[in-house]
């Protein structure tokens, strides 16, 4: 089973020094984060790793009263397909 971890401006799966999947974000002001990059290694492609990291970011945003700006095309596509995430946009 895959576990999404969070460290500073990074959500990742695997080891932080060489993650199998990662999604980076930039804090903006007091209450926003910008998701700027998502990357999934070939071995995890098609297994939902990217979506799991977006879900983790949504959970983080809700817990910390933040909004998300998904500049990364992958993250934006997940938001576009997932109505229940609209509250953090």
Query: Which of residues 75 and 1 earns the better pLDDT score?
Result: 75
In this prediction, residue 88 carries a pLDDT of: 98
Mean pLDDT score across all residues of the chain: 97
In this prediction, residue 1 carries a pLDDT of: 82
- The rounded distance, in Å, linking the Cα atoms of 62 and 66 is 6
- The rounded distance, in Å, linking the Cα atoms of 73 and 18 is 23
**Tens digit of pLDDT for each residue in 36-76?**
999 999 999 999 999 999 999 999 999 999 999 999 999 99
List domains and CATH numbers for the chain.
4-88 (3.40.630.30)
| pTM attached to this predicted model | 0.97
Cβ-defined contacts of 61-65 (< 8 Å, 24+) = 61/33, 61/88, 62/87, 62/88, 65/31
Contact 33, 23 (CB under 8 A): no
């Amino acid at each position: 089973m895959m576990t999404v971890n969070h460290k500073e401006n990074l959500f990742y799966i695997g080891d932080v020094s060489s993650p199998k999947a990662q999604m980076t974000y930039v804090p903006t002001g007091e209450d926003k984060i910008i998701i700027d990059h998502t990357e999934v290694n070939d071995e995890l492609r098609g297994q939902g790793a990217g979506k799991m990291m977006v879900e983790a970011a949504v959970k983080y945003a809700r817990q910390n009263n933040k909004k998300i700006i998904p500049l990364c095309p992958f993250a934006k596509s997940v938001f576009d397909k997932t109505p229940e995430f609209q509250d953090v946009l």
